[in-house]
């Protein structure tokens, strides 16, 4: 009897976990400082086109869209946009039904 109670709970838990979208996460940028027009490499998880629609540099006041030059599940190469200055955070616009802007714990210094 106990087994018949546990099986439906495990099935529901499995369905919930499978239904969740993979959340993109950036963990580092190389180099950590760049100039306008330079291409930098961001590494992390779930960074493919299915999960990441756009990448921005933000200083909390201005959000500047970056041109993505290459993209895979673990890496994005992007060009530093014009008007970028100082230390800026990277921000992701997710793909999917409910797009979200997610600021990442990765910073880039623009010289």
| Distance in angstroms (rounded) separating the CA atoms of residues 29 and 7 | 44
Report the alpha-carbon distance of residue 12 to residue 32 in Å, rounded: 43
For residue 20, pLDDT beyond 70: no
Q: pLDDT band for position 13 (50/70/90)? A: low
Among the four given CATH numbers 2.60.40.1180, 3.40.50.2300, 3.30.1490.20, 2.60.40.10, the one describing domain 23-110: 2.60.40.10
Average pLDDT for 44-49? 97
- Residues 66-103: tens digit of each pLDDT: 999 999 999 999 999 999 999 999 999 999 889 999 99
Distance (Å) of CA 20 to CA 13, 51, 59, 96 = 11, 12, 30, 11
Instruction: Give the residue, 46 or 13, on which the prediction is more confident.
Output: 46
What whole-number distance in Å separates Cα of residue 51 and Cα of residue 49?
5
Q: Cα–Cα distance between 15 and 81 in angstroms, integer?
A: 41
């Amino acid at each position: 009897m106990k087994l018949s109670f546990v099986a439906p709970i495990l099935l529901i838990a499995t369905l919930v976990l499978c239904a969740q979208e993979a959340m993109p996460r950036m963990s580092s940028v190389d180099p950590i400082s760049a100039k306008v027009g330079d291409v930098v490499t961001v590494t992390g998880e779930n960074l493919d086109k299915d999960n990441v629609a756009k990448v921005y540099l933000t200083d909390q006041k201005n959000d500047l869209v970056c041109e993505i030059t290459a993209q895979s599940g673990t890496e994005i190469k992007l060009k530093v946009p014009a008007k970028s200055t100082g230390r800026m955070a990277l921000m992701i616009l997710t793909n999917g039904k409910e797009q979200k802007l997610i600021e990442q714990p990765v910073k880039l210094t623009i010289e």
